[in-house]
Amino acid sequence: MENVDNLIAEIDGFKAESAEDLESYRLRFISKKGVVGALFQGLKDVPNDQKKEVGQKFNAVKQKAEEKFQELITELKQRTTSEAKAPVDLTLPPTGIPLGSIHPLRAARNRIIEIFARMGFNVADGPEVEDDWHNFTALNFPENHPAREMQDTFFVKKNPDVVLRTHTSNVQIRLMENQKPPIRSIMPGRVYRNEAISARAHCLFHQVEGIFIDENVSFRDLKQTLYHFAKEMFGQDTQIRFRPSYFPFTEPSAEMDISCGLNSPGECELCGGAKNICKGTGWVEILGCGMVDPNVLENCGIDSEKYTGFAFGMGIERIAQLKYNVSDIRLYFENDVRFLNQFRTE
């Protein structure tokens, strides 16, 4: 009975300043393994002639503990509500809110669009799920071309003639089908390739392709346009070279490289000595280009005897790698704030 009196005094004097205090009270007094529960477990040891009196006393302690618990809940709610409604001191200095940043891929995309917009190129868009004609056939891909295989392209199972576009050239075809020359546009967007993910490649990436169709367009116009772009993007001292190449939809075709800063063996500004980007050559390919094949023009209903044009395409990830000195393409997709915070604008 002395223990009962001590428990009552402890219950009366308990104060809950937080939710943690409230939980501590519940565990000690209300739960089945608490001290009140232990009292009832000891009732079996009380003599039979005293069990009624002692049992009533125990019930009184249990009821008091439960009533006190409800009181504590009410008091804590009132205190929390009162503190929430406390007036704001407008004279206090503001707390600093950290600014976000533009994702490096978005920043590179915006810069590319800005440069070509000043040269008269507008921006066009098209579907990411495309049919075989606009993604392959109209672009002069032969039926046995490796790009048509499942190892390179994601096909829609229900319809083998529908794919996730492998380039934004499909937008070029749609423009030429529905618009008469002159055509001067760029096509930024997401593209998909069935490739192994590594520091240099990904199954999902971003491209900007461009096309210029008009009378008397020459390879010289192509070179001057891309020279201007590279100088504007990477600086006037950028070293640039063109290499002959092959693409089904352009003839002649070329690839454009810029120097990554490999000045001597073991030194590479982009690769950090690993040479996993330039492969030790000192040059990194940034885009493919060429004169639009006459077959492509004819496929789109454009007279190839009257009109000529050039086309080009680049990966935004590769441009951002060189622009911001990023050595691993996978960093763009991992959303690691330690990486993204490096592009924060204060």
- What's the CATH number where 225 sits? 3.30.930.10
Q: Residue 94: inside a domain, yes or no?
A: no
pLDDT band at residue 12, thresholds of 50, 70 and 90? confident
pLDDT surpassing 70 at residue 324: yes
Verify that 28 and 112 share a domain, yes or no: no
Verify that 29 and 135 share a domain, yes or no: no
Verify that 170 and 276 share a domain, yes or no: yes
The pLDDT value given to residue 346: 46
Helix (H) or strand (E) holding 304: none
Rounded CA-CA distance 230/211 in Å is 17
Which structural domain, as residue segments, surrounds residue 185? Answer: 104-343
Decide if 320 contacts 105 (C-beta within 8 A).
yes
Rounded CA-CA distance 74/338 in Å is 44
Q: Average pLDDT of 54-76?
A: 83
Each residue of 19-48: pLDDT tens digit? 888 888 888 888 877 777 777 777 777 777
Please say which residue of 84, 117, 138 terminates a domain: 84
Verify that 156 and 277 share a domain, yes or no: yes
* Mean pLDDT, the chain, whole residue set: 84
Q: Residue 158: inside a domain, yes or no?
A: yes
Verify that 108 and 201 share a domain, yes or no: yes
Nearest residue to 224 (alpha-carbon basis) of 209, 206, 212: 212
Please indicate whether residue 267 or residue 115 has the higher confidence score (pLDDT). Answer: 115
- Locate tokens 């050039």: which residue? 310
Q: Residue 93: inside a domain, yes or no?
A: no
Q: Residue 89: inside a domain, yes or no?
A: no
The pLDDT value given to residue 252: 93
Q: Which whole-number Å values give the CA distances from 207 to 64, 243, 308, 311, 338, in the listed order?
A: 72, 20, 23, 13, 25
Q: Residue 90: inside a domain, yes or no?
A: no
Rounded CA-CA distance 14/30 in Å is 13
Dihedral over Cα of 234, 103, 212, 143: its sign: positive
Nearest residue to 309 (alpha-carbon basis) of 238, 211, 242: 211
Please indicate whether residue 262 or residue 343 has the higher confidence score (pLDDT). Answer: 343
Instruction: Say if residue 121 is exposed, middle or buried (CB neighbours under 10 Å; 0-12, 13-18, 19+).
Output: buried
Q: Residue 92: inside a domain, yes or no?
A: no
Verify that 46 and 145 share a domain, yes or no: no
- For residue 176, list its beta bridge partners: none
Please say which residue of 16, 50, 84 terminates a domain: 84
pLDDT band at residue 151, thresholds of 50, 70 and 90? low
* Angle of CA points 230, 245, 242, to nearest 5°: 30
Verify that 185 and 316 share a domain, yes or no: yes
The pLDDT value given to residue 265: 46
pTM above 0.75, yes or no: no
DSSP alpha helix (H) spans, the chain:
2-13, 19-25, 35-41, 51-84, 104-117, 132-135, 169-178, 219-234, 294-299, 316-324, 331-334, 337-340
pLDDT surpassing 90 at residue 109: yes
Nearest residue to 245 (alpha-carbon basis) of 236, 254, 237: 254
Verify that 32 and 170 share a domain, yes or no: no
Rounded CA-CA distance 327/321 in Å is 6
The pLDDT value given to residue 33: 79
Q: Residue 248: inside a domain, yes or no?
A: yes
Verify that 42 and 145 share a domain, yes or no: no
Verify that 275 and 333 share a domain, yes or no: yes
**Lateral strand order in the sheet of 159-164:** 129-131, 159-164, 155-156
Verify that 69 and 160 share a domain, yes or no: no
Q: Residue 74: inside a domain, yes or no?
A: yes
Per the structure, the count of domains in the chain is 2
- Roughly how many angstroms between the first and final C-alpha of the chain, as a whole number? 69
DSSP state of 10: H
Decide if 176 contacts 304 (C-beta within 8 A).
no
Verify that 270 and 320 share a domain, yes or no: yes
